[in-house]
């Protein structure tokens, strides 16, 4: 049996590649297994032998001779081929190939996810981990939270984050759960982390084969923007617990108790003009209050226009527009409406080129909240 370093076995197992099965197949029947390898490479890319050996291999005998000299390298290439098939996300692989390996390699192998995966692996093993977890993030339902506070010069590393998660779990010793960060990435604007939290009492999270961790732990995802104005969370059935965990982490790195509001939608800011205008014109609802910043009068103050009772303020808004003192709709901070007999306040919070929409009416049932969201979706 081919002997491969234990850490490499852990590496492929973490990416859901059954390398132990491959090694057992090789040990059981090398002739059958090498035929499988030969067929796999021929079917998936015309560049495999150029990349592996620099020359063409056209028959199984030549392949077996080559395999005997380069066993571990060919097994790694086979794992990369499985990885590319499993991820099945050419767009993501192309993006990371271009960013990591450069234009020349990208242009040569742009549409060959097999070769790109192998070249990325050879460049740095972390590249495939990044693809694996970025692919996971693209599939999950992430919730966004925004804050009005903005802070700078905050530091966060994988080690700091792990220590804070340990501290968070120690506060609830009765459940004896553990959280382990498996992936941590920093870019210019944010920190992203994926961690697993043990589901069962007393079961620690450890690197295991054949994805046994899926039975004993589930995945969580935090993305914390460096100015702390935005927080993205995937909670996997623990929304309140994980929001509390994220806020605990942010408090520890900032020493500030920041209030975050869940966003029902994140829109490109230029879409807000269309939405506000459509809300104002919609005959199925009444605008009861609107809060705007940068009013085009002296000192550019914030203005709140509020209805007496529930008669609505459409005529007041129109008069302000006629007098050219109504602000740009992008400067809308909040709007209170009555829709289908229900009162609701929609709050807008701009962050960069995006604006978050949150429904802040307390006690609003989920079905009524969904009706408001459906209305917003129709008006965009």
User: What pTM was estimated for this model as a whole?
Assistant: 0.75
pLDDT of res. 12: 93
- pLDDT average, residue stretch 183-205: 79
| Residue range 335-378, pLDDT digits in tens | 998 888 888 888 888 887 888 888 877 666 777 777 888 888 88
| Residue range 97-125, pLDDT digits in tens | 999 999 999 999 989 999 999 999 999 99
Query: 């059935």: which residue's tokens?
Result: 237
Q: What is the dihedral of CA 313, 319, 321, 327, to 10 degrees?
A: -50
Q: What is the dihedral of CA 129, 130, 134, 135, to 10 degrees?
A: -40
Given a cut of 50, is residue 330 above it in pLDDT?
yes
C-alpha 30 chain-centroid distance: 41
Q: What is the 3-state secondary structure (H, E, C) of 187-243?
A: CCCEEEEEEEEECCCCCCCCCCCCCCHHHHEEEEEEEEECCCCEEEEECCCCHHHHH
pLDDT of res. 227: 92
Q: How far apart are CA 303 and CA 220, in angstroms?
A: 41
| Residue range 147-185, pLDDT digits in tens | 888 888 899 999 999 999 999 988 876 566 788 999 999
Q: How far apart are CA 376 and CA 274, in angstroms?
A: 11
pLDDT of res. 276: 85
Name 184's bridge partners.
193
Given a cut of 50, is residue 215 above it in pLDDT?
no
Residue 207: pLDDT band (50, 70, 90) is very low
pLDDT of res. 174: 57
- pLDDT average, residue stretch 15-21: 91
Name 324's bridge partners.
none
- pLDDT average, residue stretch 320-326: 86
């Amino acid at each position: 049996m081919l002997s491969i370093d234990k850490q490499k076995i852990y590496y492929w197992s973490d990416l859901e590649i059954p390398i132990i099965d491959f090694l057992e197949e090789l040990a059981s029947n090398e002739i059958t297994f090498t035929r499988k390898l030969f067929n796999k490479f021929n079917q998936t890319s015309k560049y495999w032998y150029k990349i592996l050996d620099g020359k063409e291999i056209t028959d199984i005998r030549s392949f077996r001779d080559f395999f005997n000299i380069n066993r571990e390298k060919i097994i790694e290439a086979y794992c990369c081929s499985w990885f590319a098939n499993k991820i099945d996300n050419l767009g993501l692989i192309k993006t990371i190939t271009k960013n990591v390996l450069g234009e020349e390699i990208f242009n040569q192998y742009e549409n060959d996810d097999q070769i790109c995966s192998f070249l990325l692996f050879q460049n740095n093993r972390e590249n495939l981990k990044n693809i694996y977890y970025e692919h996971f993030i693209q599939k999950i339902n992430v919730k966004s939270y925004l804050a009005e506070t903005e802070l700078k010069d905050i530091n966060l590393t994988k080690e700091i984050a792990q220590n804070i998660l340990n501290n968070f779990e120690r506060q609830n010793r009765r459940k004896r759960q553990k959280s382990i960060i498996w992936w941590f990435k920093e870019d210019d604007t944010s920190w992203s982390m994926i961690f697993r939290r043990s589901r069962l009492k007393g079961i620690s999270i450890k690197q295991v084969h054949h994805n046994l961790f899926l039975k004993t732990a589930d995945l969580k995802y935090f993305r914390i923007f460096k100015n702390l104005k935005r927080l993205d969370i995937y909670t996997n059935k623990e929304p309140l617990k994980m929001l509390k965990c994220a806020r605990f982490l942010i408090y520890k790195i900032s020493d500030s108790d920041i209030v975050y509001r869940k966003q029902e939608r994140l829109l490109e800011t230029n879409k807000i003009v269309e939405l506000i205008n459509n809300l104002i014109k919609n005959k199925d609802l009444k605008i009861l209050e609107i809060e705007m910043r940068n009013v085009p009068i002296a000192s550019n103050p914030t203005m709140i226009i509020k209805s007496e009772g529930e008669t609505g303020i459409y005529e007041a808004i129109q008069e302000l527009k006629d007098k050219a003192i109504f602000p740009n709709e992008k400067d809308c901070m909040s709007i209170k409406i009555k829709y289908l007999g229900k009162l609701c306040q929609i709050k807008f919070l701009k962050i960069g080129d995006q604006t978050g929409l949150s429904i802040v009416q307390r006690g609003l049932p989920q079905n009524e909240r969904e009706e408001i969201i459906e209305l917003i979706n129709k008006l965009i």
